[in-house]
Amino acid sequence: MRLTTKGRFAVTAMIDLALQQDEGPVSLAGISQRQNISLSYLEQLFSKLRRHALVDSVRGPGGGYQISRPLTKVSVADVILAVDEPLDATQCGGKENCTDEGQCMTHDLWSSLNQKMLEYLGSVSLQCLVDKHRQKDAEKGTGKTIQFRDRPMDLNTAAQA
């Protein structure tokens, strides 16, 4: 598999952006500091994310980045593919020239794995990842979270309601 730091950092930065954007545009410097990712590296990633219409930039004082569509409409696959991260487990890069004779004996296996990875990552939205992160934070804060009608509820919040 060739999911490198580029793809991981892009997904991490997008989750951070999604968590922070309710307060307005988010600066790359803030993401850099919170996630310990080089600012210049983030600038390169966000340039690609902007070209693929996943984020919008806001100029001027208080400027930064915002996710350009609803979080439910942005998948992990969208993010990874936008930063030119290949999702390929084949030895040949999908060209079917694994050996001098053509395909290797396991080419179809790895091609199927590529498809399954893409399907899975395409099924995971930023909203799902943000919700999971917030649920973990709520559990850390109280140690007590219950499942209520398919959504987590912090017991302290429930007691106040």
- Domain boundaries along the sequence of the chain: 5-131, 132-161
Summarised one tens digit per residue, pLDDT across range 85-123 is 677 776 666 666 666 666 777 878 888 888 898 899 999
Reference 52, options 22, 14, 9, 23; nearest CA is: 14
φ, ψ of residue 152 in degrees (nearest 5) = -70, 145
Percent of the chain with pLDDT over 70: 76
Mean pLDDT of the chain: 83
The predicted structure's pLDDT at residue 142: 54
CATH number, domain 5-131: 1.10.10.10
- The DSSP annotation for 32-95 comes to HHHHT--HHHHHHHHHHHHHTTSEEEE-STT-EEEESS-GGG-BHHHHHHHTT-----SSSTTS
Q: How far apart are CA 120 and CA 103, in angstroms?
A: 25
Structure tokens at 114: 């590529």
> Which whole number is the average pLDDT over 44-54?
96
- pTM for this predicted structure: 0.77
